[in-house]
Structure 1
Amino acid sequence: MIRRFLLLLAGLSALGASPAAAFWEYGHQTVGAIALSQVQPRTRAAIAGLLRQQKILETPTCPMRTIEEASVWPDCIKTLGDRFSYAYSWHFQDFDVCKPFDFKANCANGNCASAQIARAQRMLADRKLPARDRLMALAFLVHFVGDIHQPLHAADAHDDAGGNGTKASYGAIGGRTNLHAIWDGLLADRAISTPPGGPAGLLSGTTVEERKTLAQGSIEDWMHQSWEVAKDVVYPSAVGDVCALPPGTKASGKLDEAKIQTLIPVMRAQVLKGGLRLARMLDEALDGDHPEVAHPPRAKAG
């Protein structure tokens, strides 16, 4: 885990980016905006009511006045040091693409993305909890659902820390970044802004029935799908058959414009699915028609 953090810092430093960024701002904000556009009116009202109380968080440098700000709050609070350091490992849950998918792996004591998504939804749904706890749960839910739809928050290869340890060139950025940073921001920003861009643009190519279908499944299903994208698309597009490399090999790769064009629809689909699935989870917690949150089972430690 420490190695993953150091690699992430190194990759972001090379780009001049803040270590607070993961799936970068545009990706998270778009997932949040899509979700807010799709939720039921009572859910939207409940979210607005919680956000109006954001000052009780006492994080003035990390405000939460809108769903977009809530979506990046869990990254912003990384700058606040020890106060929220317990949440670092909640942003990812890497499954090795060179081994069979094992959902029970890599979640010691519930400190992983899947367990914390389930926990955040339960807390958001619990009207007996203090508003501060439910506000934090809202932000964590919005953020972590976004995170797991960035494939390299759900996968790695040869212990490369979700692609942070795999150097890769991206267009004109030659050798100064890594595979994780490309999918976190460089490719995500390009994909979301490709016309028709933004939340409305991503939604425009789908019907109501298609959106309902995309929102189905469980947290395990969604992470399995992201892992498959990493295994079948992310690594092959950059480094070829990464699993054929000897363990300990430091892989490197290149994404030219032709490859980037093939990856844009993949990234757009991931962001869209993240927003639609988040909307479903928010409705389950807040719209009043669900007597209990049945979607995620309570995570077991270990």
Structure 2
Amino acid sequence: MRYAIAARWAIAAAIAVVPATARAWNESGHRIVARIAWDELTRAQQVYASELLVRHPRFAEDFAARMPPEIAARPVDDVARQQWVFMHAATWPDLLKGEGKRLADQSAALPAGPEKAELERRLADVKRHDNPTWHYDNKPIHIDPYALPAAPPLAMRAVGVQQALPNALRELDDRTLPVELRAVALAWVLHLVGDSHQPLHSAALFSSRHLPQGDLGGNAFLVQPPGAAPTRLHAVWDELLGDDPKTERAAKNRIVAANPRRILKAELAASTDATGAEAMVNLWLDESFRAADASVYDARLRDALLAPLAAGATSAFPIALDRRYLQASRAVAMRRAALAGYRLADCIGRAESRSRP
């Protein structure tokens, strides 16, 4: 018991000194997945998605206000402008987190009065749309027989991507819903298809010695990439697709060239909504879980947690990553991103066909 408590304190102290984790994939990663999908869509499907997104209830605050001037100057039916809106929508659920914190900090610094009341109204609207547990559903991976956490009762489990994504797909298809709600659903579909393909949004590692409470999808698993400061394993995987908006088009082209639709034909054929949205999303999450089990938490990382601590060491963390690990991980991430992009395009194509009179 004393060792487990010490391990928790060591993890907490180490997390406090590393950079904040990036968001599932990062913004570039989500935009790259959306760009893959956009280029797969017919023009009619692009118009369908674009015309729906401009009806988003927070379009003015979260889309138009963030447009680069050269995009905002284009006509509303311009292809480049529509593509920007589409790719930006894929990042919107993550942007809510930062916006909520910004408004909360501003409100806390003000005395009671009209300005504070307005900030609190805006914060409440952000919170109404923000759903932080929707982004993941982490199944446990136990590396020793004593790392067996009790599963919470089903009724107490928060809604995760396993439920949220099928619900969003159904809302997107439901023409009885107000168009504003369907626009929000599309933004969540754009984001959660990407999240469901990130391996560390489907798995959490448990070690009785070092991670008795689990690593929270790699967020409590500290690593040190070559030539870099210690960081979270989750952040490493989030950033494998890149983090520079200027290189996103080239990154997308590399991903598609390495993983064309034709070589992923079997996976894509097995993943349709013919058996229901839940079954389709479960298949994606199972793929991600298996990628985490085999590739994220590879044998060397597990061995480092199972080995005795070095003399004088109080923690196994951070565990050094080598370039071979990063190279292999990038190949896995690129394949997962390609599948996410193709599947996202297929989801939007089906929704567009169902929207026709």
**Residue number in structure 2 paired with 1:281:** 347
After TM superposition, list the pairs within 5 Å mapping 1:202-221 onto structure 2. 202-215=255-268, 216-217=270-271, 218-221=280-283
CA distance in 2, matches of 1:62, 1:194: 22
Q: Does structure 1 residue 93 correspond to structure 2 residue 112?
A: no
**Residue number in structure 1 paired with 2:232:** 178
After TM superposition, list the pairs within 5 Å mapping 1:1-302 onto structure 2. 14-15=18-19, 21-54=23-56, 56-57=57-58, 60-61=61-62, 63=64, 66-81=85-100, 82=124, 83-84=126-127, 87-98=131-142, 108=156, 111-158=159-206, 159-175=214-230, 177-185=231-239, 187-189=240-242, 197-215=250-268, 216-217=270-271, 218-236=280-298, 239-241=301-303, 244=306, 252-288=318-354
* Structure 1 residue 200 displacement after superposition: 2.6
Greater Rg by CA? 2
CA distance in 2, matches of 1:142, 1:38: 14
* Structure 1 residue 51 displacement after superposition: 2.4
Give 5+ residue unaligned stretches, structure 1. 1-6, 292-302
CA distance in 1, matches of 2:291, 2:262: 23
Given that 1:93 and 1:114 are in contact with CA atoms closer than 8 Å, whether structure 2 keeps it comes out as: yes
Secondary structure at the residue paired with 1:60? helix
CA distance in 2, matches of 1:191, 1:242: 32
* Structure 1 residue 60 displacement after superposition: 0.9
CA distance in 2, matches of 1:282, 1:21: 24
Given that 1:50 and 1:135 are in contact with CA atoms closer than 8 Å, whether structure 2 keeps it comes out as: yes
CA distance in 2, matches of 1:290, 1:198: 34
Aligned CA distance change for structure 1 residues 172 and 138 (closer, same or farther; 3 Å): same
CA distance in 1, matches of 2:244, 2:290: 19
* Structure 1 residue 109 displacement after superposition: 6.1
* Structure 1 residue 202 displacement after superposition: 1.6
Structure 2 counterpart of 1:57, which letter? R
Given that 1:239 and 1:251 are in contact with CA atoms closer than 8 Å, whether structure 2 keeps it comes out as: no
CA distance in 1, matches of 2:238, 2:307: 24
Given that 1:166 and 1:250 are in contact with CA atoms closer than 8 Å, whether structure 2 keeps it comes out as: no
Secondary structure at the residue paired with 1:75? helix
CA distance in 2, matches of 1:242, 1:148: 28
Structure 1 counterpart of 2:257, which letter? S
* Structure 1 residue 84 displacement after superposition: 2.5
Structure 1 counterpart of 2:233, which letter? L
Give 5+ residue unaligned stretches, structure 2. 1-10, 67-83, 101-123, 207-213, 272-279, 309-314
Given that 1:93 and 1:113 are in contact with CA atoms closer than 8 Å, whether structure 2 keeps it comes out as: yes
CA distance in 2, matches of 1:88, 1:281: 23
Secondary structure at the residue paired with 2:61? coil
Identity percentage over the alignment? 26
Secondary structure at the residue paired with 2:223? strand
Q: How many residues align?
A: 274
* Structure 1 residue 130 displacement after superposition: 1.3
